[in-house]
Amino acid sequence: MCMYIMLLADQKRRNMRSFEGYARGDGKAGTRNYVLVVPSVGCSQGAAQTIARGIRGAVFLPNILGCGQIGEDRGLVKRTLVGFGMNPNIFSVLIVGNGCEQLSADELGKAIASTGKRVESVVIQDMGTKKAVSLGRRIVKEMCAHAAKLVREPIPVSELILGTECGGSDYTSGLASNPAVGVASDLLVAENGTVILSETPELIGAEHLVARRARTPEIAGQILKTVAWWERQSVAAGQNIREGNPSPGNIAGGLTTLEEKSLGCIYKGGTSSLEEVISYASSPTKKGLVYMDTPAHDIEQLTGMVAGGSQIVVFTTGRGTPIGSPIAPVIKITANRDTYRTMRENMDMDVSSILQGSEKVREAGNRIFQEIISVSSGKPVKAEKLGYRDFCMFTVNINI
Amino acid sequence: MGYRAIAINKKDNVATALTSLGKDTRISVEIHDRTETIKLLSDIPMGHKFALQDMEEGDPVIKYGEPIGQCTAKICSGEHVHVHNVISRPKEEKYEEF
């Protein structure tokens, strides 16, 4: 009888499409439960790394900026670091400052504490490295002990913000893995979840098609504006993406136009209408498919989406890539069978079956959606098992 | 059963060969819920596209459910679709509608 009720409850949960996550005080929910140790500046990086070392549940954020940024970079760096602290995968935060930096531990801490999370700081100039490390370790151990008491509970998948990314692409990406992820993106949007599409330089050539999918003319205009900015920057640096693309190699491989090449990348966001354009490392304010303006640089893009609140990321690749985020699981998906065989320790899913003709894109997409739920519920991904903790912020100007 | 070509979106009027296909081969392509059989009019290398229907000059070529370019000549069902009979629309024209 008891078993029967449990089965029923389980069934009900499945119908609602939930995952087992960590509920946070601000109403959000995490797929992981870390205590984050953030150096507010590169100068306190060493101390912060020592503080987090060997403490189960603690994660160190390898930030080397926080001082010397000018113009909009100051805001970008602050938004990125604060975004990591605010991410629902984080339980509590320790900020390690040096003391004289532009972005003080106090300023960062106040912004992160708006979530209701416990945020503490230690400042090296107040006490020297050894004392800061020993005090920091005491605080982090205590935070981790509290974090370990929190248990997972059923959370609707509508709470998920899924980051989508592709890198090390080959012909299998546009034909199979990206369309399959697109199916999973559509499934999450149908459940009232959020999907982030990004990497603006990859839009070039198909930006008018993306803009046409915008919910309003204003959103369409924002999309074209972000693409124009990247195009101006790259032309100023001597590179015109529109010329020479698709490359002779692309054409030999069967790609006919730049639209086709770009759509192969964009299709991982699915077919929903675009609800919003957000700047780098900003949080979506809408549900559904949102667009974040990021570089195509894999780690800068990943960092931006996680800072924007992504608790989980899907990453398609053809050639293979090992990267992972310090605080969010990144599911690696390839449709290249050779890559899957060679890099089995890095790849989470093989969807080469689509190209063998033995699985439909829709079926592979369903499989990816299931994997998103499993990983959100705690199943570790390969990048986590290997200890990948990649972090790189996008900035625009020189550092002075 | 294994398919040797793939159409990604139900609106697509081209399919992509998953393996190199010879002229006169009859290929089954699954398009959403229906399966169509196309007789190839030319050799199609792996990764290249062929038409799922007849198209006139100026018609859009649809892949991923979106226009990836327009035909520069009449293209028959089963014919190779590539740079020799398709061009990208110029940027200015693409932006006109916004």
B-chain CB neighbours of A171 within 8 Å are: 47
Q: How far apart are CA B88 and CA A259, in angstroms?
A: 7
Q: Which residues span the domain enclosing B65?
A: 5-96
Q: What's the Rg (C-alpha) of chain B?
A: 14
Q: With an 8 Å Cβ cutoff, are B47 and A254 in contact?
A: yes
Q: What would the pLDDT profile of B12-35 be if each residue is shown by its tens digit?
A: 999 999 999 999 999 999 887 889
Q: How far apart are CA A265 and CA A182, in angstroms?
A: 10
Q: Give the model's confidence band at A106: pLDDT under 50 very low, under 70 low, under 90 confident, else very high.
A: very high
CATH topology (fold) of A34-149: Rossmann fold (3.40.50)
Cβ atoms A329, A371 nearer than 8 A:
no
Residue to substitute from A171, A223, A257, interface B, most B β-carbons within 10 A: A257
Chain A residues 254-283 within an 8 A CB cutoff of chain B: 254-260, 263-264, 266-267, 271
Domain coordinates of chain A in residue numbers? 34-149, 159-385
Q: Which residues of B lie closer than 8 Å to A, measured between beta carbons?
A: 1-4, 6, 8-9, 16-18, 30, 45-49, 61, 63-69, 81-83, 86-89, 91, 94-95, 97-98
For the domain covering A159-385, report its CATH number.
Answer: 3.40.50
Q: Give the model's confidence band at A6: pLDDT under 50 very low, under 70 low, under 90 confident, else very high.
A: low
Same fold, A34-149 and A159-385: yes
- The gap from C-alpha A62 to its chain's centroid, in whole angstroms, comes to 16
Q: How far apart are CA B58 and CA B67, in angstroms?
A: 12
Q: With an 8 Å Cβ cutoff, are A263 and B63 in contact?
A: yes
Average pLDDT of the segment spanning A81-92: 98
Facing residue for A361 by CB, picked from B2, B8, B68: B8
Closest CA to A162 of A300, A19, A38, A335: A19
| pLDDT score recorded for residue A336 | 95
Q: How far apart are CA B27 and CA A279, in angstroms?
A: 45
Is A113's Cβ below 8 Å from some Cβ in B?
no
| pLDDT score recorded for residue B94 | 77
Q: What's the structural domain count of chain B? A: 1
Q: Give the model's confidence band at A321: pLDDT under 50 very low, under 70 low, under 90 confident, else very high.
A: very high
Alpha helices in chain A, H assignment, sequence order: 2-15, 45-52, 72-86, 105-113, 124-127, 129-149, 171-172, 178-190, 207-212, 217-236, 248-252, 258-266, 298-307, 337-342, 353-356, 361-376, 382-385
Cβ atoms A186, A368 nearer than 8 A:
no
Average pLDDT of the segment spanning B81-85: 97
| pLDDT score recorded for residue A84 | 98
Q: CB pairs below 8 Å between A and B: how many? A: 86
Sheet with A29-30, edge to edge strand ranges: A29-30, A18-23, A153-156
ipTM of the modeled complex: 0.96
| pLDDT score recorded for residue A11 | 45
